[in-house]
Amino acid sequence: MLTAAIVVPLLGAVVVAVAGRRWSEPVVRAVGVATTLVPLALVVAAWVAFDPGSDEAFQLVTDVEWIPTLGVGYRVGVDGIGLAVAAVTAVVFTAAVAHPTEMRGLAHQYVAWFLFLESVSLGLFLSLDLVLFYVFFDLSLVGMYFLISRWGHDDAERAALKFFLYTLLGSLSLLLGIIALGVSMDPITFDMRAIIAAQPLADSSQAVAVLVLVMVGLGIKTPMVPFHTWLPAAHVEAPATASAVLAGVLLKMGTFGMVRIPFLMLRDTFADASLVIGVLAVVSILYGALVALGQDDLKRRIAYTSVNHMGYVVLGLAAAGSVVTGHEAARALALTGATVQMVAHGLITSTLFLLTGSIWDRTHDYDMDHYGGLLGQVPLLSGAMILASFASLGLPGLAGFVGEFQVFVGTFAVHPVLAAVGLLGILLTAALFLQLVQRMFLGEMPDRWSSLSDLTPVEMATLGVLLVLTVAVGVAPRLLVDTVHAAASLFVGG
């Protein structure tokens, strides 16, 4: 079932790339959307089949040898955390493929790359082998490189190159860390479950170096300050749908990797370093929010809020891994919060980026100073943007609140000072989104936007799905939280 969720979009990508050349654009898109519905259905089925009450953290496991000489296998399976992130991945991809955008006469290639990326992303979140994880981690760069460089804006080629080089450096750093973990096992293996159980570097002098290698690699992807500089360029130049996937799904690979590798496999070392990681997270929170506040470019502003929001996730992880025993309840809460925040950020930020795409298609302008009073002219578009903004700033009743609340409650128990300083970030985010709403949607509308058209039915559908889920997670978080919490409790040993 999980394997099918990985393979179907990959096959779809191949079919669309080869046969799609002769199809019309709507047909290609329809095939693409239909393909993304398959993994979505499969992930939902996996969710139903998953037993949150079980003592087995990883379920629905497939384990096949790949390179037995080096202990590498094709191993996939889910826990509550992987399930949550995989689910949001499937949703975001369906929305991103369906969302209208200019495909420059290369619809088949465009859709094929999206399907390829979906396969790779799901593969990463479902993999239980470090090398398999790395394979998908690396392939996500290839897909994103071509999407940004081919369908991006003016300076896309440079931005894509920077993105690829920067993140490849990160992934290779991660690779060295992964190899060190695998080699330290006897016999050599990259089976995540075995390494989690063995904690092979617990008493080793290498542990710190491995932690640094892995955290740098994952920190670049997340991105954490000071490794975030590739992000604004990539987001600004990328087509909006690719930005939605980049922020909504690919960034999660960094934090998800942090759960899987340093948090679970280097428990002692992670606990020793948790304060440092927490401080870096708070720096990301504040820095991301402050820089976002200073942007006049709509897309840049949203891009920087990702640095801020992913900071909450890392803060939650730092709190959850702060000690090896003790504070179980608070730590489980922090880990749950971090995961829910990943889900919420995936839904909300991809909505925001899809909306910037809708705006760009209409106006070809990202400068917020050129807008104002749009609420009267395009009420649906404005309403969607305002709702997503409120969700992003953490308004109770919407998805963003649930995760952030749990992260902060959990963090207060172990790192109260960090939590207090981090709360300032929420304040700043509120300011930057309220100011965004005010500048773009309230006040006087410049005359040139008087012919602006509102959302099309397709846009309403894609954005609607994401926003409904945002509200659903906010109002009734139980289904999500229970599943995640089951895994979190097992992992913190509570």
Partner 1 sequence: MQMSMQVSHVGPQLAVLVGAVVTLLVAMFTGRDRQWVNGPLALVALVVAAVLQVDLAGGPAVLAFDGLWALDRMTAVGSVTVVIATGLVVALVPGWLATDARHGEYYPMLLLGALGAMVMVAAVDLNELIVGVVLSSVTGYVLAAWHRQSAWSVEAGMKYFLVGGLANIVLLVGAVLAFAAGGTTDHAVLAVTLVDADPWLLVPMAVTLVVGLAFKAGAVPVHSWVPDVSQGAPAPSAAFLTVVPKVGGLLALARLATVVPIDASGWRPVVAVVAVATMSVGTLAALGQDDVRRLLGWSSVSQAGYALVALAVVGRSERAVPALVLFLAGYAVANVAAFGVVTALRGRTALADWSGLARSRPGLAVAMVVALLSLVGIPPLAGFASKFAVFAAAIDGGMTWLAVVAVVNTVVSLAYSLRVVAPMFLDDPVGPVHVLDRWSVVAVVIATAAVLVVGLAADLVLSGATGPVLPELP
23 touches partner 1 (CB under 8 A)? no
Tokens matching residue 239: 């087509």
| Residue numbers 190-219 binding partner 1 by CB under 8 A | 209
| By CB under 8 A, residue 169 contacts partner 1 | yes
Binds partner 1 (CB under 8 A): choice among 14, 24, 64, 68: 68
- Residue 366 touches partner 1, criterion: CB under 8 A: no
How many whole angstroms separate alpha carbon 101 and alpha carbon 99? 6
Total residues contacting partner 1 by CB under 8 A comes to 32
For position 150 contacting partner 1 by CB under 8 A, the verdict is yes
Answer for which of 11, 70, 380, 442 binds partner 1 (CB under 8 A) is: 70
The smaller minimum CB distance to partner 1, of residues 138 and 361, is found at: 138
Binders of partner 1 in range 378-397 (CB under 8 A): none
Give the span between the Cα atoms of 38 and 19, in whole angstroms: 19
49-57, 162-170, 223-231, 248-256 -> range binding partner 1 (CB under 8 A): 162-170
Please say which residue, 4 or 212, places its beta carbon nearer to partner 1: 212
Answer yes or no whether residue 13 interacts with partner 1 by CB under 8 A. Answer: no
Residue with Cβ nearer partner 1 (70 or 202)? 70
Listed ranges 47-55, 94-102, 139-147, 380-388: which one lies at the site for partner 1 (CB under 8 A):
139-147
Cβ 7 to partner 1, closest distance in Å?
A: 14
* CB nearer partner 1, residue 157 or residue 272: 157
Q: Is 66 in the site for partner 1 (CB under 8 A)?
A: yes
Which of 128-136, 360-368, 391-399, 438-446 is the region at the interface with partner 1 (rule: CB under 8 A)?
A: 128-136
- What are residue 191's DSSP bridge partners? 129
417 binds partner 1 (CB under 8 A): no
Nearer to partner 1, 135 or 385 (CB): 135
Note whether 188 binds partner 1 by CB under 8 A: yes
37 binds partner 1 (CB under 8 A): no
- Name the residue nearer to partner 1 (CB basis): 21 or 448: 21
Select the span of 61-69, 234-242, 302-310, 347-355 touching partner 1 (CB under 8 A).
61-69
Per CB under 8 A, the list member of 139, 259, 355, 492 interacting with partner 1 is 139
d(CA 215, CA 213): 6
The reply to whether 32 sits near partner 1 by the rule CB under 8 A is no
- Joined together, the tokens standing for residue 361 give 């298609």
Does residue 67 belong to the site contacting partner 1 (CB under 8 A)? yes
Q: Is 151 an interacting residue with respect to partner 1 (CB under 8 A)?
A: no
d(Cα 347, Cα 329) in Å, to the nearest integer? 27
Contacts of 205 (CB under 8 A, 6+ apart): none
Residue closer to partner 1 by CB (options 71, 410) is 71
Q: Closest approach of Cβ 211 to partner 1, in Å?
A: 14
Question: Residue 156 Cβ, how far from partner 1 at the closest point, in Å?
Answer: 9
Question: Is residue 451 a contact residue for partner 1 (CB under 8 A)?
Answer: no
Residues in the site for partner 1, rule: CB under 8 A?
65-70, 131, 134-135, 138-139, 142, 145-146, 149-150, 157, 161, 164-165, 168-169, 172-173, 175-176, 179-180, 182-183, 188, 209
